Structure 1
Amino acid sequence: MGSWDSTVGQANYVCKLKQTLPTLSAALDELRARRNDVQRKVDLDEQRQLRRLDEVQLWLSKADTMITEADILIEDGPREINNLCLGRCASKNCLSTYKFGKRVAKRLQDIKDHMSRGAFDKVAETQPTASMILRPEERTIALESTIDMVWNCIRDRDVGIIGLYGTGGVGKMTLLTQINNKFDTTPEVYDVGKIQDEIGETIGFSNESWKNKRVDQKAVDIYGVLHNKKFVVLLDDLWERVDLNKVGIPKPGQENGSKLIFTTRSLEVCGEMEARKRIRVECLKPEDAWKLFQEKVGDETLNIHPDIPKLAEQTTPGEWKYAIEKLKRSALPKMENEVFQLLKFSYDNLPRTVKCCLLYCCLYPEDYAIPKKTLVEYWFCEGLLNEFDRIIEAEMQGGHIISSLLSACLLERDGEHRVKMHDVIRDMCLWIACELEAKGQRFFVKTGAELPVEPHVKAWEGAKRMSVMQNRIQVLRETPTCPNLQTMFLMCNELLVIGNGFFRSIPRLTVLSLLNNKDLKALPQGISQLISLECLDLSCTGIKELPTRLKSLTKLKMLDLSYTCYLRKIPPRLISSFSELQILRIWNPPSLDPAKEDNVLDGVGNEKLTEELESLQHLNTATIPPITSMVALQRFQSLELLPCRTESLFLWHFWKSNVFNVLCLEKMEHLERLDITGCGGIDIEIRKLNTNTNYTSSLHTLREVTITGSCKLRDITWLILAPNLRSLELKHCGKMEEILSRGKLGEVADVVGISNVSPFRKLERLYLNYLPELKSIY
């Protein structure tokens, strides 16, 4: 019976083949029409920013497959019908025709079933929340704590916008990838259009018609999807503020619980983006850098021979330096092509003036702590701070530039008064300054190399700036011809002699620094030929006298004679001949023998020199030698201009008992440092000088106070007049009982009219040494 049924079934598929093929063709036309209708509905809804339903997409996919397969069957149908013979139900190859007829019948039934499922009430709906995309990541070295910090900010509902900033290549992208994979979320671009396209693709706006919309139209669409959802957006490497409104991103915050996390090389961008939390991504510490090095190099290479540590100990420093220099040179092409190009992107985005100021910093040796004040003064004399003619205003521009470079992580802080340049940033700057600059604009830099003699002149004659700081050069004998040279750093060497012809052919030299050459006793005759010189820094040298021939330096704006301990002679009318001088520092320790006081170079005790200082109409910043008597102090206070220009005041070795009224300093509106040393007989009081004077900020510029060897002072409560005091140093004050006396606070406040006394609010450094009677600080 079963065999009969099977035979009948086979014959049935074969005999009805001529009927089922036309029926299949008609059903196929209906399915194709239904598929086209559904597709048109989907297209219309997607243009309205809706997203097609998954079941609709599945139906359309299956319909396409069925149409393709049915077309093949209908195409093969005539051949199979021609095989039929022996009447309606016979076939030359019954088995083949049976299988074909069965496929036709099954495809016909499948099409009818699929058609019945193709009646949709709706084919699309509103967009879902942002999809999640995992990204490949590298293993982090020493970033775990930063990741934890960011993650804690993400959990903090009050923090909506988080800025991660740091120099190029420090690991911000790696950190962002780690955060991305914790979240599994969105884009990493900063152009408004690109951000919109990235977000649009993630939330379903992916067709070309949407991408061709205007930015403002896209913003409306994106906002419509995100405004009532909780989202996270990641943006990598921002160089400027991104207007979230223009993109269409609702501002993240406590109300919606959403987050925006971005990376940047600039702290300023963090502010412009209104980041509630700003996290600096630091360079690796040495131990972490070593771990990364081990990981990249591999134990097999590091442990290639057990004697390597012993060999390292036996190798001389010179051999190590030679090997390191060889390594640097072999690695330089790769650094230029990869690391420097990455960092140069930060440099290229700086304004021209800031670029020049940044490159200037590579004149200093590796890891050198650069004094900010000196740096700004050199910039000023070089003409880099060309917005202002006076150093007082130029210091503001210079301070802003330094802040910008710190914010961009191209400089690093080293305490309050100094900055450093990271080794890699410095190498990049040297690459630009020494290799990429045009001929005649390039730098020559050989610092910290322990050079015993001067470099050959041919190597630096065409340079614009040269620095041979921190070497062991003792003699400069040659006569270089340098038509373009503007800057010469000879600091921190062991100079004994500079040949008379050395400065003969450097007509454009603007800044000459001989700082910290303690054995240099005299200046060469040829220095008088530097007629373009605007800065002469002789601080910490052994100079004994200034030559009269310096009068030819009529453009001089800065003369620094700080800590010239052996300087005892300045020719008459020399200082007054520098009519453009804005910065003058004359500081050397006085004699400890009061009988020799007349022989001491004393800017106040020497009346003629005092007159010259007073005559300098452009002088803005001055440091004068220590004042060694109350008579000299009173004479100084009576001057019209010099006190208000003085930035540092030294009162040393007052031998007689005197009372010093600290309110006499009110006239010194630029006083930053006060040093009272060896004044055993001095006592300090506060006595009102003028009833109409407001003393609430009379010492507001005072930053640093040092008192040494005072045997009368019991307290220094008068310091409440210095609200910006940063450093306080007290040594060998045998009767000091209190730093600030609680009992005297009210008395001092009443005298000067101060209310709401809050002393030491900005104090950063407190040094106390040998104060045997000290009972309390405050």
Structure 2
Amino acid sequence: MENCFSVGVALENFIIRSWGSIVGHANYVCKLKQTLPTLTEALQDLRAQRDDVQGMVDVAEQRLLKRLERVQLWLSKAETMVTEAEKLVANGPQQMNNLCLGGFASKNCLSTYKFGKKVAKMLQAINDLMSKGVFDKVAESQPAASVVVRPEERPIALQPTIEKVWNCIVDKDVGIIGLYGLGGVGKTTLLTQINNKFSTTPNGFDVVIWALVSNGYDIGKIQNKIGGNIGFSAESWKNKSVEEKAVDIYGVLRIKRFVVLLDDLWERVDLNQVGIPKPSQDNGSKLIFTTRCLEVCGEMEAREKIKVECLEPKEAWKLFQDKVGDETLNSHPDIRKLAKQVVERCGGLPLALITIGRAMACKTTPGDWKYAIEMLKRCTLPKMENEVFPLLKFSYDNLPNVTMKCCLLYCCLYPEDYCIPKKRLVEYWFCEGMLNEFDRISEAQMQGDYIINSLLNACLLERDGEDFVKMHDVIRDMVLWIVCELEAKENKFFVKAGAQLFEEPDVKIWECAKRMSVMKNNIEVIRETPKCPNLHSLFLSENKLKVINDGFFQFIPHLTVLNLSNNSALQVLPKGISQLISLECLDLSHTAIRELPIELKSLTKLKMLDLSCIPYLRRIPRHLISSFFRLQIFRITSLTSEDYPEEDNVLNGGNENLIEELKSLQHLNILSMLPFTSMFALERFLSFNLFRCCTQELRLSGFKESNVFNVLCLENVECLRTLNLQNCENVEEIKMEKLHTWVSPGTSYTSPFHNLTSVSFQDCHKLTDVTWLILVPNLRYLGLVQCVKIEEILSQGKFGEVADVRIPYPIPFLKLEKLVLCSLWKLKSVYWDVLPFPCLKYIFVGICPELKKLPLNSDSAKGNRITIDGNEDWWAEIEWENEATRQTFSPFFRSYS
């Protein structure tokens, strides 16, 4: 049988070879050993060429170019050919196994013949296709979308924002883009430039539609504008119902790749009601809108929310210079300097810069410019009153209720560029009765925070870190214009904050005021006895007050908030303060008051008393504090009880008398307490539930009983925000004893110190580390001063000990904004690895000679500007992660040597 098989194979091969020699195809079998590896190599080359061409196409399309049809055809053929060649290569081993007689014959010669023929043809096809796959260009400019070019004015410095918006337009994942910002900041100009960019930049959109919305929008008008862009312009169509128009618009836009630009939204626009298909990744369309309110961005489901910022000083000067003209600026040597003062008053707001610039274009004498500056200070410059303030006032008018408007107006009592503490502001509002939804400050704080966030979202306030807000200069001027001109009868304000006054204003000018602020001046003596029947708020803080006339408060019966804080020379309160029977807030913080007069007992409505940071306060009469039975907010620090007999002074008896009086205040809600000098005193204080629930600030000073402080004794102090340890010279270690916590996977863990935001250590000479701070996830301020033995802030070894409690700690210092390190002679490390520091803004390093490395790399605090103050010699010796890190932070170093 074997012989028969051999003879049969030989005969068949003979016939094939004979036939092949006739038709020229015998090599298909004979050369299969050579052609199959050649095909594998050719397949690799084709794949590489296909990937190269596809890569060039991708790059071109990112630049909004359109791929050429012949390139697309080649790529399609290449894809098909790769698939077919891969199948041949995959079948190759089986066909190779059939070969015999040194590759000149096959056990299945017909199959091998056909296979070899396919391989040869595929080789030829690949060679032919690759020769056609060399392109001079793979894409070309697309025809621009149908767009109506709008007239535009080009303020300087919008280009970076335009690029940011255009990147979102290119991004397939972004369908809806919200542009928000202050009135007059240039949002409409920005949207106009984006609209016109579609007419000159290649893009894949079919139509670009512009519609002005404005306050109290009309859906029908928006539909008419859109309809005009897509072919529905007949009067008969305009007379259709809103529902019918929506169906028509939707029918056209759903088959187009469109861009809709909506200018000046004040509330959510229902896209379905208008007939606009919702932009998505599938339809590739875009909706871009402008608004003054961040909340509208959320209501419109904007995937990207981009704030349009005021101009930087350099760019603001360029814009103003352009509007005024060099001829005017050069007409007198003093004018350029005066012009820069005007620019400063405009606060980078393009609307104000353009309006005032045009108004001053023909003013060629210094007198004209000085007069304009004075009028700007008084908020009475006609151009501002007629063109700028009314536009900005729309934002004020659009606030949802009277309470929010009153809270905004209240902010103008603070000077220009003032960092307003959010919590203190809310406390003043509460005492003024503005937050009337709640009776307790802890609950009213929620309403106050909501109002502040709403004013921030409306761009009427600006965020300055987590704890402070600011008011833009032009917004403040607008608010002063409102209270002085439009609401003077009901809500009269007298504001001379930061006006460089050396004496109190003429009493006749402010006797009718409801709110008065002369804070941040140079007033030393108040001599007058004004009659102010309507005055509710009086801000006298940050002056140089030494004496207040005893009769000053005699005829101010309705005064509710009195702010005397930050008068470091004020030692005595006038006894006439007892006349303020309506007073609910008395702020004496950062003064030199030595004793509280017993006459304060008449202030029975008092809800807030701030005695913090009064270093010389030595006497508080017995039963005075307990007489304030409505008191909700009480702060007291830095006390001594020298020179007064115990029976007259509540501060004697180790402060226990004061604590006993505080126990009687059942409405107490916020408490910042005087220094505790022993663990025993602290534990007794915390044994009272009221104190555990309302204490926000604690200072521990001079602890001597033990070298270990168990920080978990504070874990039940629910509202603790600030903790200060000072002069605890014996404390070597801060432990977390008795923390038996198990958190199962997937379960969220809340730290016992999640409310703590500020921690400081001073003169704790034996302390070596503060690793317990990993329990403080929301820490914003950390200060260490004169802790001479501390070597590490967070110790890797101690970190492991804490990890034994099996709590999933996050990366430390994620909320940290400010880090102060001073006189730490042995400090070598803040943390053993680099940290992201997403919120960090400031680092101070003074006399830390062993600190050679900071936990930073080039990605730390990305997007933030971190100011670093330190000694120049120390800075020169810092060891950086790499050169990129050094270059990232070097521009922000400031030497104090």
TM, length-normalised to structure 2 = 0.68
CA RMSD of aligned residues (A): 2.8
**Aligned match of 1:275:** 302
Instruction: Tell me whether 1:160 sits opposite 2:175 in the alignment.
Output: yes
**Aligned match of 1:743:** 797
Residue type of the partner of 1:392?
Answer: S
User: Residue 180 of structure 2 contacts residue 292 of structure 2 at CA under 8 Å; is this kept in 1?
Assistant: yes
> Residues 173-200 of structure 1: CA distance to partner in whole angstroms, max 9, x if unpaired?
1111101111243223233222111101
Instruction: Tell me whether 1:250 sits opposite 2:277 in the alignment.
Output: yes
d(CA) in 2 for partners of 1:387, 1:551: 28
Cα drift, residue 235 of structure 1: 0.6
**Aligned match of 1:766:** 819
Cα drift, residue 642 of structure 1: 1.6
Q: Could you tell me which of 581, 595, 600 is aligned with 1:545?
A: 595
> Residues 52-101 of structure 1: CA distance to partner in whole angstroms, max 9, x if unpaired?
xxxxxxxxxxxxxxxxxxxxxxxxxxxxxxxxxxxxxxxxxxxxxxxxxx
Cα drift, residue 685 of structure 1: 4.1
**Aligned match of 1:91:** none
Mark the CA change 1:486 to 1:306 in structure 2 (over 3 Å): closer, same or farther.
closer
Q: Could you tell me which of 695, 698, 705 is aligned with 2:759?
A: 705
Mark the CA change 1:578 to 1:689 in structure 2 (over 3 Å): closer, same or farther.
farther
Q: Could you tell me which of 435, 443, 465 is aligned with 1:415?
A: 465
Residue type of the partner of 1:222?
Answer: I
Mark the CA change 1:309 to 1:463 in structure 2 (over 3 Å): closer, same or farther.
closer
Higher relative CO (Cα under 8 Å, sequence separation at least 6) belongs to 1
Superposed, which structure 2 residues align to 1:664-683 within 5 Å?
664-683=713-732
Aligned pairs, number? 644
User: Residue 625 of structure 2 contacts residue 662 of structure 2 at CA under 8 Å; is this kept in 1?
Assistant: yes
Deviates more, 1:616-625 or 1:204-213: 204-213
User: Residue 187 of structure 1 contacts residue 195 of structure 1 at CA under 8 Å; is this kept in 2?
Assistant: no
Residue type of the partner of 2:310?
Answer: C
Cα drift, residue 348 of structure 1: 0.2
User: Residue 604 of structure 1 contacts residue 627 of structure 1 at CA under 8 Å; is this kept in 2?
Assistant: no
Deviates more, 1:496-505 or 1:230-239: 496-505
**Aligned match of 2:390:** 341
**Aligned match of 1:398:** 448
Deviates more, 1:700-709 or 1:259-268: 700-709
User: Residue 604 of structure 1 contacts residue 635 of structure 1 at CA under 8 Å; is this kept in 2?
Assistant: no
Residue type of the partner of 1:417?
Answer: D
Mark the CA change 1:509 to 1:597 in structure 2 (over 3 Å): closer, same or farther.
closer
Secondary structure in structure 1 of the residue aligned to 2:383: helix
**Aligned match of 2:562:** 512
Instruction: Tell me whether 1:636 sits opposite 2:685 in the alignment.
Output: yes
Secondary structure in structure 2 of the residue aligned to 1:234: strand
> Residues 191-238 of structure 1: CA distance to partner in whole angstroms, max 9, x if unpaired?
322211110111111122221222121111111000111000111111
> Residues 564-590 of structure 1: CA distance to partner in whole angstroms, max 9, x if unpaired?
111110000111111111100011266
d(CA) in 2 for partners of 1:464, 1:134: 52
Cα drift, residue 471 of structure 1: 1.6
d(CA) in 1 for partners of 2:550, 2:220: 65
Mark the CA change 1:550 to 1:329 in structure 2 (over 3 Å): closer, same or farther.
closer
Residue type of the partner of 1:236?
Answer: D
Q: Could you tell me which of 158, 172, 188 is aligned with 2:211?
A: 188
Mark the CA change 1:330 to 1:436 in structure 2 (over 3 Å): closer, same or farther.
closer
Superposed, which structure 2 residues align to 1:218-617 within 5 Å?
218-305=245-332, 324-326=373-375, 332-350=381-399, 351-588=401-638, 605-617=654-666
d(CA) in 2 for partners of 1:603, 1:362: 42
User: Residue 650 of structure 2 contacts residue 657 of structure 2 at CA under 8 Å; is this kept in 1?
Assistant: no
> Residues 402-442 of structure 1: CA distance to partner in whole angstroms, max 9, x if unpaired?
11111111111122211111111001100111111152421
d(CA) in 1 for partners of 2:532, 2:310: 39
Cα drift, residue 241 of structure 1: 0.8
> Residues 672-707 of structure 1: CA distance to partner in whole angstroms, max 9, x if unpaired?
011111211013343545869999521111111111
Mark the CA change 1:589 to 1:507 in structure 2 (over 3 Å): closer, same or farther.
closer
Secondary structure in structure 1 of the residue aligned to 2:305: strand
Q: Could you tell me which of 149, 152, 168 is aligned with 1:137?
A: 152
Secondary structure in structure 2 of the residue aligned to 1:251: coil
User: Residue 330 of structure 2 contacts residue 336 of structure 2 at CA under 8 Å; is this kept in 1?
Assistant: no
User: Residue 662 of structure 1 contacts residue 684 of structure 1 at CA under 8 Å; is this kept in 2?
Assistant: no
Cα drift, residue 666 of structure 1: 1.2
**Aligned match of 2:710:** 661
Mark the CA change 1:590 to 1:545 in structure 2 (over 3 Å): closer, same or farther.
closer
d(CA) in 2 for partners of 1:376, 1:635: 31
**Aligned match of 1:29:** none
d(CA) in 2 for partners of 1:608, 1:625: 13
Residue type of the partner of 2:448?
Answer: G
Cα drift, residue 257 of structure 1: 1.1
Residue type of the partner of 1:707?
Answer: F
d(CA) in 2 for partners of 1:662, 1:775: 24
Secondary structure in structure 1 of the residue aligned to 2:804: helix
d(CA) in 1 for partners of 2:724, 2:155: 50
d(CA) in 1 for partners of 2:403, 2:376: 34
Superposed, which structure 2 residues align to 1:199-214 within 5 Å?
199-214=226-241
User: Residue 578 of structure 2 contacts residue 602 of structure 2 at CA under 8 Å; is this kept in 1?
Assistant: yes
Instruction: Tell me whether 1:178 sits opposite 2:231 in the alignment.
Output: no
d(CA) in 2 for partners of 1:387, 1:250: 41
d(CA) in 2 for partners of 1:371, 1:604: 35
Cα drift, residue 739 of structure 1: 2.1
Cα drift, residue 156 of structure 1: 0.9
Cα drift, residue 381 of structure 1: 0.5
> Residues 736-777 of structure 1: CA distance to partner in whole angstroms, max 9, x if unpaired?
2322222232322334x5235543332233332333333432
User: Residue 602 of structure 1 contacts residue 627 of structure 1 at CA under 8 Å; is this kept in 2?
Assistant: no
**Aligned match of 1:646:** 695
Deviates more, 1:631-640 or 1:543-552: 631-640
Q: Could you tell me which of 150, 155, 158 is aligned with 2:165?
A: 150
Mark the CA change 1:327 to 1:678 in structure 2 (over 3 Å): closer, same or farther.
closer
d(CA) in 1 for partners of 2:647, 2:812: 40
Deviates more, 1:722-731 or 1:389-398: 722-731
d(CA) in 2 for partners of 1:669, 1:685: 20
Structure 1: stretches of 5+ with no match in the other structure: 1-127
Highest CA radius of gyration, 1 or 2? Answer: 1
> Residues 609-636 of structure 1: CA distance to partner in whole angstroms, max 9, x if unpaired?
1101111101111111111233322332
Residue type of the partner of 1:181?
Answer: N
**Aligned match of 1:717:** 771
d(CA) in 2 for partners of 1:474, 1:400: 38
**Aligned match of 1:734:** 788
d(CA) in 2 for partners of 1:675, 1:603: 23
> Residues 584-612 of structure 1: CA distance to partner in whole angstroms, max 9, x if unpaired?
00112669x9xx99999869922111101
**Aligned match of 1:198:** 225
Deviates more, 1:420-429 or 1:296-305: 296-305
Secondary structure in structure 2 of the residue aligned to 1:632: helix
d(CA) in 2 for partners of 1:286, 1:489: 31
Residue type of the partner of 2:776?
Answer: A
Residue type of the partner of 1:660?
Answer: F
Superposed, which structure 2 residues align to 1:684-699 within 5 Å?
684-686=733-735, 688-689=737-738, 696-699=750-753
Residue type of the partner of 1:258?
Answer: S
d(CA) in 2 for partners of 1:323, 1:603: 59
Deviates more, 1:516-525 or 1:551-560: 516-525
Cα drift, residue 498 of structure 1: 1.2
User: Residue 421 of structure 2 contacts residue 467 of structure 2 at CA under 8 Å; is this kept in 1?
Assistant: yes
d(CA) in 2 for partners of 1:254, 1:633: 60
Mark the CA change 1:766 to 1:731 in structure 2 (over 3 Å): closer, same or farther.
same
d(CA) in 2 for partners of 1:303, 1:690: 72
